[in-house]
Amino acid sequence: MGKTIAEKIFSQHSGEDARAGDLVIAHLDFIMGQDGTAPLAINSFHEMRGEKVFDPSKVAFVIDHSAPSPNEGVSSLHKLMREFTSKQGILLYDIGHGVCHQLMLEQGHVVPGDLVIGADSHTCTYGALNAFSTGVGSTDLAAGIISGKLWFKVPETIKFLCEGILPPGVFSKDLILYLIGDIGADGATYLAAEYCGETISALDVEERFTIANMAIEMGAKAGLMEFDEKVKKWVAGRSKKPPRPVFADPDAKYLEIRKYDLSHLEPQIACPHTVDNVSPVGQVEGLPVQQAFIGTCTNGRINDLRIAARILTGKKVSPGVRLIVAPSSRQVFLDAMNEGIIQVLVEAGAAIVTPGCGPCVGTHNGVPSDGEVVLSTANRNFKGRMGNSRASIYLASPATVAASAVTGRVTDPRPFFL
Amino acid sequence: MLLNGKAFKFGNDINTDYIISGKYKFKTLDMKELARHVMEDLDPQFFQKISEGDMIVAGSNFGCGSSREQAPLAIIYAGIGCVLASSFARIFYRNAINTGLPVIECDTSKIDEGDLLQVNLEKGIVLNRSKNLEIPITPLPQVMIKILSDGGLIKHFQKYGDFNFD
């Protein structure tokens, strides 16, 4: 019997013939922690009587969730991270570098075939590079940086076979929102998701990140994709590590194969307060918006900002709307400056904030008020997510958010792409 | 291990932001302080209502969302004895076991708010004493039983210095 991508990666990293359902102890290629989870992991590291990180070159911490620090409590946690990383000789991406997942990808820490854990649920993003990456908590992170290993239950795999080319004005964000709406917020719990087919192949690697990023929003442990020339090229320009591509066997066993024709997909929107509460944008069109947010590990990359700039060139953000833009990394910020995108966004009336997570997780940089409607490119719309449980958060693509910022109401962006 | 407590009922998809809001969890490592805000966005009085050993009872996908371990820790420090749900999100489930919070997967549709429950982990049974009903529990994987019986992953590492499931 053949193996899935997940079964192969766990076999290679555990030295066992790993099959779905097996429990394995596997070696880790890279480990990441951020400022919401690393401080607790540092405490656990000491409580576990850890002395040295197993391999300092395979660990990075990122200060992105509250960056720069909004209060003294956070400052002391950041200080703890700075002292620990300095003492252990591990890489720290301090404030301004950007969102952890963007850094892990663009700085070349992950290559195809890797097994990676991160103490952040959206660690599944790197699956788009044909790596198995999954989110863990602080104690698992501590055990990982002490031992270089972690125990895993090898997941069964559910395959999403996506056919058809997305129409103009419809993006990978719309695709993943549609899939989550179809299968539900717990539709892939404990499972690895494999996203493949013509639709995925046609997307750029950075557009694929948006899909893998949201695998966790259907409950999945990982959001895996196939290795191809696009991935090979993307990784070659960023990492010195040799890629070890992993291909599913033709006779691999899948729990389920779901087929989709996406050639007529409409722009999608996730309505409050769950990510699977998805409908076509048309059904919510006209709803007044008070805050629009473009950024995050889901949709804060250069191609996302290009789309926003295309819509906002020569236009103004509607009075009554606050448009907040957070480039997902310093490199994205620099690229956007070089391309004139930042000029376009600022002239349109956008407020640019430090690369990082702030508004998405409600720590600072854009907490909405009671009763307000927020339209965001993020991955979660839970009640209270942005720091106020009396606000309503809607999720959509950067195109839908930018178009709605111009009109002041939820707007189908397709007319901007005719 | 016998656990006794009163049921506090919640719905499906109780996410980690509901369990402990991001606006608190990024600020401090003081779990007693975080515990005061547990489930606050769903029930502002929750922390005042509960007594030591009481149980959270929910529907499907409990603990979905972020990987924050502050979620199970806030529940533990609030004095909750265990969480029963018809299913759990994966990362929360791992974090609960790692921090020593018993998580019980069972049919929760026959439990109502205020029911008195007794959980028998060895026998794999929840007794709903208010309704005189026995509800079977989905068994935990061996690795998780080992970590729970060591008192969580920190104590497991204190004991063995590494993973040890032999």
Query: For residue A376, what pLDDT band results from cuts at 50, 70 and 90?
Result: very high
Residue type, A184: G
Residue in A with minimal Cα distance to B69: A137
- In whole angstroms, what is the distance from residue B44 CA to residue A387 CA? 15
Q: In the predicted model, is pLDDT for residue B25 greater than 90?
A: no
B6, B146, B1: which is closest to B79 by C-alpha?
A: B6
Query: For residue B1, what pLDDT band results from cuts at 50, 70 and 90?
Result: confident
* Total CB pairs under 8 A between chain A and B: 148
State in Å, rounded, how far the first CA of chain A is from the last one.
48
> Residue range A200-210: average pLDDT?
98
pLDDT tens-digit profile of B34-85?
999 999 999 999 999 999 999 999 999 999 999 999 999 999 999 999 999 9
Q: In the predicted model, is pLDDT for residue B26 greater than 80?
A: no
- In whole angstroms, what is the distance from residue A318 CA to residue A409 CA? 9
**Token representation of residue B116:** 């008195």
- In whole angstroms, what is the distance from residue A36 CA to residue B108 CA? 32
B89 to chain A: which residues are within 8 Å by CB?
A: 186, 189, 219
Q: In the predicted model, is pLDDT for residue A139 greater than 90?
A: yes
- Partner-chain contact A23 B26, CB within 8 Å: no
B39 to chain A: which residues are within 8 Å by CB?
A: none
Phi then psi for residue A142, to 5 deg, are -65, -45
Which stretches does DSSP call E strand in A298-372?
A: 322-325, 351-352
- In whole angstroms, what is the distance from residue A110 CA to residue A244 CA? 11
Residue B29 pLDDT? 84
Residue in A with minimal Cα distance to B92: A137
Residue A242 pLDDT? 97
Beta pairing class for A91-93 and A59-62:
parallel
- In whole angstroms, what is the distance from residue B164 CA to residue B147 CA? 9
pLDDT tens-digit profile of A22-39?
999 999 999 999 999 999
| Mean per-residue pLDDT over chain B, rounded | 93
- In whole angstroms, what is the distance from residue A42 CA to residue B16 CA? 21
**Does the structure's ipTM exceed the value 0.85?**
yes
Residue B24 pLDDT? 83
- Partner-chain contact B23 A384, CB within 8 Å: yes
**Token representation of residue A21:** 């359902």
Q: Dihedral of CA A282/A306/A361/A203: which sign? A: positive
CA distances A12 to A5, A128, A249, A252, Å, are 11, 19, 15, 16
Residue in B with minimal Cα distance to A364: B23
- Partner-chain contact B17 A48, CB within 8 Å: no
- In whole angstroms, what is the distance from residue B5 CA to residue B55 CA? 6
pLDDT tens-digit profile of A290-331?
999 999 999 999 999 999 999 999 999 999 999 999 999 999
Beta bridge mates, B120: B2, B125
CATH class, domain B2-138, is alpha beta
pLDDT tens-digit profile of A74-111?
999 999 999 999 999 999 999 999 999 999 999 999 99
- Partner-chain contact B154 A48, CB within 8 Å: yes
- Residues above pLDDT 70, as percent of chain B: 99
Please name the residues in contact with A189: beta carbons below 8 A apart, sequence gap of 6 or more.
A219, A220, B61, B87, B89, B90
pLDDT tens-digit profile of A150-160?
999 999 999 99
The three-state secondary structure class of A242 is coil
| CA–CA min distance B71, chain A (Å) | 10
- Residues above pLDDT 70, as percent of chain A: 100
Domain spans of chain B, in order of start: 2-138
B26 to chain A: which residues are within 8 Å by CB?
A: 35-36, 65-66, 74, 77, 361, 363
Which stretches does DSSP call E strand in B37-154?
A: 55-58, 82-85, 103-105, 116-120, 125-128, 133-136
**Does residue B128 contact residue B6 with C-beta atoms inside 8 Å?**
no
| Mean per-residue pLDDT over chain A, rounded | 97
A239, A285, A260: which is closest to A116 by C-alpha?
A: A239
Q: In the predicted model, is pLDDT for residue B164 greater than 90?
A: yes
B157 to chain A: which residues are within 8 Å by CB?
A: 48-50, 142-143, 146
Residue A368 pLDDT? 97
> Residue range A109-135: average pLDDT?
98
- In whole angstroms, what is the distance from residue A302 CA to residue A222 CA? 24
Which CATH superfamily hosts domain A272-413?
Answer: Aconitase, domain 3 (3.30.499.10)
- In whole angstroms, what is the distance from residue A112 CA to residue A325 CA? 31
CA distances B78 to A179, A406, B32, B75, B114, Å, are 37, 46, 7, 5, 18
Please name the residues in contact with A349: beta carbons below 8 A apart, sequence gap of 6 or more.
A316, A317, A323
Residue type, A304: D
pLDDT tens-digit profile of A262-283?
999 999 999 999 999 999 999 9
- In whole angstroms, what is the distance from residue B69 CA to residue A40 CA? 8
Which CATH superfamily hosts domain A5-260?
Answer: Aconitase, domain 3 (3.30.499.10)
Q: What is the CA radius of gyration of chain A?
A: 20
Domain spans of chain A, in order of start: 5-260, 272-413
Query: For residue A371, what pLDDT band results from cuts at 50, 70 and 90?
Result: very high
**Does residue B26 contact residue A65 with C-beta atoms inside 8 Å?**
yes
- Partner-chain contact B23 A389, CB within 8 Å: no
A49 to chain B: which residues are within 8 Å by CB?
A: 157-158, 161
> Residue range A10-16: average pLDDT?
98
Helix/strand number for chain B, H first, E second:
8, 7
Q: In the predicted model, is pLDDT for residue A143 greater than 80?
A: yes
